[in-house]
Amino acid sequence: MQDFLEFKAISKGYPGVQALADVSFSVKKGAVHGLMGENGAGKSTLIRVLSGDQSADNGEISIDGSTQHYRSVRDAFDAGVIVIHQELQLVPELTVAENLWLGRFPGKAGVIDRSRLTNVVREKLSEIGIEIEPGAKVASLSIGERQMVEIAKAVMADARVIALDEPTSSLSSRESEILFSLIERLRSQGKVILYVSHRLDEIFRLCDSLTVLRDGKLAAHHADITAVTREQIISEMVGREISNIWGYRPREFGEVRLEVKDIAGRKLRTPIRFSVRQGEILGFFGLIGAGRSEMTRLVYGADTRSQGTVSVDGVEVVADSPPHAIRGGIVLCPEDRKFDGIVQGRSIEENMAISSRRHFSPFGILQPKKEAELAEQFIAKLRVRTPSRKQDIVNLSGGNQQKVILGRWLSEQGVKVLIIDEPTRGIDVGAKSEIYEILYELAAQGMAIVVVSSELPEVMGITDRIVVMCQGRVAANIERDDFDERRILAAALPDVANASELPNQQVQ
């Protein structure tokens, strides 16, 4: 097969950061090519250059032998390039069909043909196995469903080059299998798929070749994925050996710190109860739609409770709003960092101080010096990779954004309970280890921690106990000594009759 997509000496710098330095590699026609590297390695910048969202300082991109000169995302789209970003690019208040037709609505004389708009989308979604109503507003969909809409958008546009940035980070197992089947179909049609993922299982399953970036430079290029090992890839990514990604540390637990009794709400109607002790890391596992994130929002006061109580150290917290929860000692790192976690367009410093500044701003007068000291302290403590505390947070990698959110809560006074939803979604193996290390340190200091994760190896690897949710209810409560992948999956799957039907896979 001939080279179809070529990156030739691509370089891109930002103030204080050289994001890409002389990166060159090529991808053959009809190939699925993996792109890996730690957060901050340059993957996202390379994808932005490919999509026309950013211009390279030096170098060029060639598609099917033709050098591209993008001036905009539209130019890249017209050249047959579509990038599906990790942070989804959909319009929440438009319908699924409107999002898929955006910029090219069918019709005449400015009148949209609504019937064709809906029917074509329904037919296309059915063809690729996506069961979503075309007339549904995107805002009403789960993150996993939104991801599938993005993928359908690329298919409808008949792109020649499709870049997928962490495409399965929010998908259920069933949705992931639909995606994998679709990728195989696109490969057989001669499309080039650039597959960005931190999940080695997916890389080895799907990819023909692989490029690894580290610190903005080409660390390795493998023309044949079968000739490389997992250990070799990890070493190329991080520049060091990581023998145990989880690094679990046993701890002594104290008294019950968080007690949740029979809470329920509009999106979680079956009352649930659980407790977390001082120094304990409690994991919540379940499939998409199980009610995990809905539970966190009820405890944190982001959604209104219809019943139940939440107590910290025996004192009831009137968590009818996040500010009340924070004052009661409960904080949340949400599942969707982009929309619910960070303040876009603001600096690292501002994002860290946004909650705690009330403690050192008498009469509402801001204290820039205090905020600067706070930011510098936690940038160093959490090893946030940034040239400056003034850096816009949207320019950070996902792992570093997560650290900033953690820094915000660590600077808050009186935090006793940390709830963290999908702590390492879209984060590389090296940054994962750093996030886990922070959680262990906080637990050792007596904080009660609730980790919500859709990745079973993660929740088994770092927690002391697991609550399994299924269809909005607690299906199992399992101590660490009794962790068993088949048993946990059996509890999470409503249609599985017994655990013996599940594959016996080892979890490292």
| Domain positions in the chain | 3-238, 242-329+414-495, 341-413
State if pTM tops 0.85. Answer: no
**pLDDT at site 507:** 34
Radius of gyration of the chain (CA): 23
Model pLDDT, residue 1: 62
- pLDDT for the residue numbered 241: 59
Instruction: Name the class of domain 3-238.
Output: alpha beta
Angle, helices 143-156 vs 173-188, to 10°: value is 10
* Contact between 302 and 486 (Cβ < 8 Å): no
The pLDDT profile of the chain, 508 residues, written as one tens digit per residue, is: 678 999 999 999 877 678 899 999 999 999 999 999 876 788 989 999 999 998 999 999 999 999 998 888 889 988 999 998 776 778 888 888 888 877 667 666 666 777 777 888 888 888 777 778 888 898 888 777 787 788 788 878 878 999 998 888 767 777 788 888 888 988 998 999 999 988 888 999 999 999 999 889 999 999 999 999 988 888 888 776 555 678 899 999 999 999 999 999 988 889 999 999 999 999 999 876 788 889 999 999 999 999 999 999 999 998 788 989 999 999 998 887 777 777 888 888 888 887 776 666 666 677 788 888 888 888 888 888 888 888 888 888 777 888 888 888 887 778 999 999 988 876 767 778 888 988 999 999 999 999 999 888 899 999 999 999 988 899 999 999 999 888 898 888 765 433 333 333 333 3
Residue 251 tokens read as: 């701890």
Contact 343, 354 (CB under 8 A): yes
Q: Parallel, antiparallel, or unpaired: how do β-strands 81-84 and 281-285 relate? A: unpaired
Say whether 242-329+414-495 and 3-238 share the same fold: yes
The Cα–Cα gap between 266 and 262 comes to 14
Q: What is the pLDDT of residue 234?
A: 80
Query: What CATH architecture is 242-329+414-495?
Result: 3-Layer(aba) Sandwich (3.40)
Q: Distance between CA atoms of 224 and 232, rounded to whole angstroms? A: 14
CA-to-CA distance for 359 and 372, rounded, in angstroms? 15
How far, in Å, CA of 213 to CA of 359, rounded?
Answer: 42
The edge-to-edge listing of strands for the beta sheet with 58-63 is 17-28, 3-14, 58-63, 66-68
pLDDT value, residue 217 = 93
- Which residues are registered as beta bridge partners of 194? 33, 163
pLDDT at 496: 46
Distance CA 255, CA 257 (A): 6
Residues in the chain, total: 508
What pLDDT score was predicted for residue 360?
66
- The pLDDT assigned to 476 comes to 94
CA 308/CA 294 separation, integer angstroms: 14
The DSSP-derived string for 369-428 is: HHHHHHHHHHHHHTT---S-TTSBGGGS-HHHHHHHHHHHHHTSTT--EEEEESTTTT--
What DSSP state is assigned to residue 252?
Answer: -
